[in-house]
């Protein structure tokens, strides 16, 4: 198991707490993505491959919008959680554990659209790795289709050697649950450690320390160039309509 897989497997029980209201965010994101799909790909998109599904934040809502979803992630723990969330909602989604850089070998079929949201792409730590993933997205999408990815805008972030980033505070039946991240920068990369603090009203809190989330601070204009290099004909960067900048790449 890689360090990244271990990070997300351990984060899985707490992943919904990253959002202030995960259920509402799931619905809002799906509505936004659905509008963008219709605007850039028309009404012909029926099948979607979510290549970085996590616990289902995008694919669950898109399935509720009526799309036929196949979803995968490198973390088996997150895939298992996403599968249980789909079953709880009565959604028919095919889930697999798979690497973004190995999609064609894994699926051997095409989809109308491939997506990878929540800043998943910068976990690939070089331009060559990202290009390989985009090559896979291209090969796994139909001639009329393409891909959509959402990422952080690293050009807009202030980089310091060490950075603390609060997430959320949630009320729980036994007290409070607090999440925050520590980013430690190393040139064009940073390592993220997530801290989960469970305050149950006692003098000592229970703390989970989850290291292992390494990111490449790749700029959006470089991602655009790599999508074009992979064969996509046009790339649109949408900065205002989604919670992160969204890159839409079309094959037509």
CA distances from residue 81 to 13, 49, 86, 152 in whole angstroms, order as listed? 8, 18, 9, 25
Placement of tokens 């896979």 in the chain: 136
* CA-closest candidate to residue 188, choices 157, 211, 227: 157
Which tokens go with 70? 């196949």
* pLDDT tens track for 111-143: 999 999 999 999 999 999 999 999 999 999 999
Q: Which architecture does CATH list for 3-153+217-250?
A: 3-Layer(aba) Sandwich (3.40)
Three-state SS for 37-74 is: HHHHHHHHCCEEEECCCCCCCCHHHHHHCCCEEEEEEC
Task: State how far the Cα of 140 lies from the Cα of 143, in Å rounded to an integer.
Answer: 10
79: confidence class by pLDDT, cuts 50, 70, 90: very high
Three-state helix/strand/coil letters over 150-164? ECCCHHHCCCCCEEE
Q: Are 41 and 70 in contact (CB under 8 A)?
A: no
Region 192-201: mean pLDDT is 96
Q: Report the chain's terminal Cα–Cα distance, integer Å.
A: 38
Give the start-to-end residue ranges of the domains of the chain. 3-153+217-250, 155-216
Q: Is the pTM of this model over 0.85?
A: yes
Q: What is the pLDDT of residue 78?
A: 97
Q: Choose among 63, 60, 68: nearest CA to 19.
A: 60
- Going by the DSSP 8-state scheme, the letter that residue 75 receives in this structure is -
Residues 6+ apart with CB under 8 A from 113: 37, 41, 45, 47, 48, 49, 141, 145, 146, 147, 148
3-class DSSP state of 67? coil
In this model, does residue 1 exceed pLDDT 90? Answer: no
Percent of the chain with pLDDT over 90: 95
With b meaning 16 or more CB within 10 Å and e meaning fewer, what string describes 91-126? bebebbebbbbebeebbeeebbbbbbbbbbbbbbee
Instruction: Find the helix or strand (DSSP H, E) in which 137 lies.
Output: helix 127-139
Average pLDDT, the chain: 96
């Amino acid at each position: 198991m890689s360090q990244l897989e271990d990070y997300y497997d351990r984060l899985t029980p707490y992943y919904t707490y990253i959002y202030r209201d995960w259920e509402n965010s799931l619905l809002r994101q799906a509505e936004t993505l659905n509008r963008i799909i219709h605007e850039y790909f028309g009404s012909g998109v029926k099948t979607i491959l979510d290549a970085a599904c996590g616990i289902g934040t995008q694919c669950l809502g898109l399935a509720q919008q009526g799309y036929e979803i196949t979803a995968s992630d490198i973390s088996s723990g997150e895939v298992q959680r996403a599968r249980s969330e789909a079953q709880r909602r009565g959604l028919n989604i095919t889930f697999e554990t798979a690497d973004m850089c190995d999609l064609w070998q894994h699926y051997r079929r095409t989809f109308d659209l491939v997506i990878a949201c929540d800043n998943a792409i910068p976990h690939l730590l070089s331009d060559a790795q990202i290009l390989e993933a985009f090559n896979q997205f291209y090969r796994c999408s139909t001639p009329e289709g393409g891909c959509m990815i959402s990422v952080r805008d690293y050009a807009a972030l202030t980089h310091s050697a060490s950075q603390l980033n609060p997430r959320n505070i949630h009320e729980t039946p036994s007290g409070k649950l607090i999440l925050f991240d520590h980013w430690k920068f190393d040139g064009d990369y940073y390592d993220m450690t997530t801290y989960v603090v469970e305050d149950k009203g006692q003098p000592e809190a229970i703390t989970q320390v989850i290291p292992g989330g390494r990111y490449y601070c790749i700029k959006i204009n470089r991602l655009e160039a790599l999508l074009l290099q992979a064969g996509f004909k046009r790339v649109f960067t949408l900065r205002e309509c989604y919670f992160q900048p969204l890159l839409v790449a079309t094959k037509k």
